[in-house]
Chains A and B, each alone.
Chain A
């Protein structure tokens, strides 16, 4: 079972082939932006030391990487890296429909 399927279950079927790597890619973006190597999908943004501007820039980096856009409300509701990856998944899935 892939990492993606373990996390998102049957929603996986809506993804494009390349999207199976998106959790890892989201984690990598967060690692690069925070300069931390201990980022996991369970990491909370409040534990990663980013200030507000750094947080928003990270969201933009994810948006640019995946060609998606988060609304302000969605950006407000993200608590963990997994939340961010789920957001990427949902938007990529809706794009592929």
Chain B
């Protein structure tokens, strides 16, 4: 099996990503009974059209097995500092979490963001699937804690 990593356009890879989303959602999402999976593909297309989307993919023998999606923005607080990448989501199929596939995907993402001129990237992970050790191994700094609360009432 040969792993390859590359930057891809939403429009080129979305059809393949659709097949992975249900698995991604099932494994990672919270409060599934209230918050339903419903990708706003039109909005992603718009983000791509205004050059605010960055997608890197992992392929095994050409087959899509993982992806990282980031939004590329100038930060509200640091407008003049340059582009920043905000993680939207990332996923690698369980069967391909081998051979450093995930780590290699993140290493590739980092270099591709740097080539794009991004000065800082923000990444997060779920508490129930904690990747802190991996991120820190790759030189990422633990800087924030995120909290969420379902506000919808029955």
Q: B91 within 8 Å of A by Cβ?
A: no
Q: Is A96 interfacial (CB-CB < 8 Å)?
A: no
Contact among B1, B111, B133, B138 for A44, CB-based, below 8 A: B1
For the side of the interface on B, what is the size category?
A: 20 to 34
Supposing A44-B99, A46-B98 touch, asked if A53 and B133 sit within 8 A by C-beta, the answer is yes
Chain A residues in 8 Å Cβ range of B104: 52, 75-76
Whole-angstrom distance from the CB of B17 to the nearest CB of chain A?
Answer: 20
Number of A-B contacts (CB under 8 A): 65
A72 within 8 A of partner (CB): yes
Take A46-B99, A75-B103, A79-B3 as given contacts and tell me if A52 and B108 are in contact as well, using a CB distance cutoff of 8 Å.
Answer: no
> Does A47 touch B at the CB level, under 8 Å?
yes
Pairs of residues from A and B, 10 with the lowest C-beta to C-beta distance, nearest first: A55-B100, A46-B99, A45-B99, A52-B103, A52-B102, A76-B107, A72-B107, A76-B104, A56-B137, A46-B1
Inter-chain contacts of B100 with A (CB < 8 A): 45, 50, 52, 55-56, 75, 78
Main SS class of interface, B = helix
- Cα separation A75 to B101 with both chains bound (whole Å): 11
How many residues of A are counted as interface, with CB atoms below 8 angstroms from the partner's CB atoms?
A: 19
Interface residues of A (CB under 8 A from B): 44-53, 55-57, 72-73, 75-76, 78-79
Q: Tell me the minimal C-beta distance from B102 to chain A in angstroms.
A: 4
